[in-house]
Amino acid sequence: MSEPRTLNVGLIGAGRIGSSHAELIARTVPNAQLVAIADPVEGVAARLAEQLHVPAAYTDPAQLLADPQVEAVVITAPARFHTGLVEQAAAAGKAIFCEKPAGMTLEDIDRVQQAVEAHGVLFRIGFNRRFADGFPQARAVIEAGRIGTPQLLRSTTRDPGLANPAAVAPWTIFLETLIHDFDTLNFLNPGARAVQVYAVADALVAPEYKDAGLLDTAVVTIRCDNGAIATAEASFSAAYGYDTRAEAFGSGGMVTAGDLAASTLRYYGPEGIAVDTVRADTQSMRGAYTGELQAFTDTALGHPSEGPGVEAARDALRIALGCIASCRTGAPVALDVVGAAR
């Protein structure tokens, strides 16, 4: 009996999230083998490759894409490089998993779609909450009609710290943080589309960086074509832990997902009840990251598994761009007129 086939994966971008994904591919996804890492910063890829016993390390992503051992690529480079890397990977015939966002404009998403379709390669986008415990189960409850007609939805991301405000690019809170919540709201309102957004944002955590373009706190209201009203909120300063939760309320009930407890442990003492909480996305979402990478690997190996692709990337980015337009105008924005952020 032949051994089950494994997928040879190369990873581009060995920063914080890239290092986490690399470790999961190398040690946790059973039918994936990490065979190459690329990062333009001298020594970064080599150090991670040595740590994970990966045979090849490059400073130029083009070298990784030209490596005949690499069948699939995981893109965890900075967001501004995603579209170009997807195009290069598609031209090299690699299956592609790309961290969010797939591009910074809707024109970028068009380029992604054209590339993957022209070269006939698999494309998945890293919307991890679709794989986080409770979220797919919530979707199943909604699809079964158990909450009735969706009326109110909510998704929250509260990050426990803003280590370097100067390094946060303008509009990051929409394009790279809340974009997860926008996809979550789309996921929990199946068959519906967002049609209008109104966003309010400010620098409440690090106000001294506001003039440099920092926004660290935001609330977004979204109207959907099925009548539902959704809210997404984010903060870069949750003192109590990494907090990602969602809720869908309907005519017949409500469903929630997400819990920041680090375990089922509860301490009961004279001062009350204490719960340890998760402190980073790599802790809270470890299972979700593994799940999305597993689904990508299975699909690339010919065992199709559901996962978000180009249209999910486009739908969430359109909301994010609408938020930017709303912040600039101070008014609600119809999403059918949203173009690129400039």
Asked whether residue 264 is assigned to any structural domain, the reply reads: yes
Predicted confidence at residue 340, as pLDDT, reads 42
Q: Is 164 exposed, middle or buried (0-12, 13-18, 19+ CB in 10 A)?
A: exposed
Query: Does residue 10 register a pLDDT over 60?
Result: yes
Q: Do 122 and 155 sit in the same domain of this protein? A: no
What is the pairing mode between strands 95-99 and 123-126?
A: parallel
Asked whether residue 25 is assigned to any structural domain, the reply reads: yes
- The CATH code of the domain that includes 146 is 3.30.360.10
Asked whether residue 1 is assigned to any structural domain, the reply reads: no
DSSP SS3 for 199: strand
Q: Do 303 and 322 sit in the same domain of this protein? A: no
Q: Do 58 and 168 sit in the same domain of this protein? A: no
Query: Does residue 342 register a pLDDT over 80?
Result: no
Predicted confidence at residue 247, as pLDDT, reads 98
Average pLDDT over residues 119-139: 98
Query: Does residue 43 register a pLDDT over 90?
Result: yes
Cα separation, 289 vs 293, in Å, equals 6
| Mean pLDDT of the residues in the chain | 96
DSSP letter assigned to residue 123: E
CA 331 to the chain's CA centroid: 27
Quick: pLDDT tens for 162-198: 889 999 999 999 999 999 999 999 999 999 999 999 9
Q: Do 137 and 124 sit in the same domain of this protein? A: no
Q: Is 129 exposed, middle or buried (0-12, 13-18, 19+ CB in 10 A)?
A: buried
Cα separation, 75 vs 89, in Å, equals 9
Question: Is residue 152 very low, low, confident or very high in pLDDT (cuts 50, 70, 90)?
Answer: very high
Q: Do 41 and 84 sit in the same domain of this protein? A: yes
Average pLDDT over residues 204-233: 97
Total structural domains within the chain: 2
CA atoms within 13 A on the CB side of 159: 18
Q: Do 304 and 320 sit in the same domain of this protein? A: no
Amino acid letter, 213: G
Cα separation, 201 vs 217, in Å, equals 6
Asked whether residue 224 is assigned to any structural domain, the reply reads: yes
Q: pTM here?
A: 0.97
- The CATH code of the domain that includes 19 is 3.40.50.720
189 contact partners, CB below 8 Å, separation of at least 6: 142, 150, 153, 224, 226, 228, 230, 248
Predicted confidence at residue 32, as pLDDT, reads 98
Asked whether residue 90 is assigned to any structural domain, the reply reads: yes
- And the tokens for 180? 């997860």
Asked whether residue 2 is assigned to any structural domain, the reply reads: no
Tell me if the bond preceding 101 is cis, omega within 30° of 0.
Answer: yes
Quick: pLDDT tens for 287-296: 999 999 999 9
Q: Is 43 left (phi over 0), alpha (psi -120 to 50) or beta?
A: left
- E strand segments, 110-236: 123-126, 150-158, 194-202, 217-224, 229-235
Asked whether residue 342 is assigned to any structural domain, the reply reads: no
Domain containing 41: what range? 7-129+288-308
Q: Do 110 and 25 sit in the same domain of this protein? A: yes
Predicted confidence at residue 339, as pLDDT, reads 65
Q: Is 33 exposed, middle or buried (0-12, 13-18, 19+ CB in 10 A)?
A: middle
Q: How many CB atoms lie within 10 A of CB 173?
A: 29
CB 130 within 8 A of CB 292: yes
- And the tokens for 231? 């809210």
Average pLDDT over residues 35-39: 99
Question: Is residue 161 very low, low, confident or very high in pLDDT (cuts 50, 70, 90)?
Answer: confident
Question: Is residue 4 very low, low, confident or very high in pLDDT (cuts 50, 70, 90)?
Answer: confident
Q: Do 244 and 141 sit in the same domain of this protein? A: yes
Predicted confidence at residue 163, as pLDDT, reads 87
Predicted confidence at residue 99, as pLDDT, reads 98
Cα separation, 197 vs 29, in Å, equals 38
Q: Do 215 and 239 sit in the same domain of this protein? A: yes
- And the tokens for 191? 């068959």
Q: Which residue has the higher pLDDT, 326 or 342?
A: 326
Q: Do 149 and 226 sit in the same domain of this protein? A: yes
Q: Do 263 and 325 sit in the same domain of this protein? A: yes
Percentage, residues of the chain above pLDDT 90: 96
Query: Does residue 341 register a pLDDT over 50?
Result: no
Predicted confidence at residue 22, as pLDDT, reads 98
Q: Do 203 and 320 sit in the same domain of this protein? A: yes
Asked whether residue 78 is assigned to any structural domain, the reply reads: yes
